[in-house]
Amino acid sequence: MRRAAFVRALFGLPLGAGLRAPAWAYDTGDFVRAILQDNEGAMRRILEDGFDPNTKTDKGVPGLYLALEEDSLKVARLLVAARRTKGEQRNTKDESVLMMAAYKGDLDIARALIDKDADVNKPGWTPLHYAATKGHLKMMDLLLEHYAFIDAQAPNGNTPLMMAAFYSTPEAVKLLIQAGADVNMRNSGGKTALDLAQMSNHRNSADLIIEALRRAQGVPRGQW
């Protein structure tokens, strides 16, 4: 017998369609299984029975974060659309759901989270760092449109431009430079974005940064 039906029977409630079991008819295990299986139908029933969509796993991971991380996108869309879902949720590493949406490049979920007051400029690592790391240009644009601090520094001093220079694409580097990123900043190890681009052998990104540095220093184009 399904858990909800068992609870109805236990308390003498009718088993007819349309009646809801108490909110605690489902537990965290049911919630997590629905996420991992991307089982939209199961998650819909869980939410309809009043289960909190902001529930975290036993490891402190918000359900919506887990759904994005596992590419359980049907469930993720259902969760983000739930009225009670909070826009700002974080795991034990202080990573927010918006950061994972930025890392995955999921614009629809990112927009929904921002509409629910997700923190675009949380202290430390930010959604823009994560988007820049993966080179998601449209996501970077979205975050910048919502006033993401372009030179935000992570605990190790890395900026989004540094992440793009080391991990990502010339297009991401170009976008950040054109949006006004500071090419002179250094991280806690004393490295600049140019240093990181050269360390990762991203020559095209390095060339873009060198060009920006020369412009900032007023070097005429003919002397580059």
* Position 19 confidence tier, pLDDT thresholds 50, 70, 90: very low
pLDDT greater than 70 at residue 13: no
Q: How many CB atoms lie within 10 A of CB 94?
A: 12
Q: Where are the domains of the chain?
A: 1-98, 120-224
**Weakest mean pLDDT among 22-26, 72-76, 132-136, 139-143:** 22-26
pLDDT at 9: 46
What share of the chain has pLDDT > 70, as a percent?
87
pLDDT digits (tens, 9 = 90+) for 111-162: 999 999 999 999 999 999 999 999 999 999 999 999 999 999 999 999 999 9
What CA–CA distance (Å, rounded) separates 1 from 90?
35
- Helix/strand number for the chain, H first, E second: 13, 0
- 6: pLDDT confidence band, cut at 50, 70 and 90? very low
Q: Is the separation of the CB atoms in 137 and 175 below 8 Å?
A: yes
Q: Do 1-98 and 120-224 show the same overall fold?
A: yes
Which superfamily is assigned to 120-224 in CATH?
A: Ankyrin repeat-containing domain (1.25.40.20)
- The pLDDT assigned to 185 comes to 97
CB 208 within 8 A of CB 198: no
Second-level CATH architecture of 1-98: Alpha Horseshoe (1.25)
DSSP 188-210: TTS--HHHHHHHTT-HHHHHHHH
Tell me the mean pLDDT in the region 65-90: 98
Instruction: Write down the pLDDT at residue 182.
Output: 98
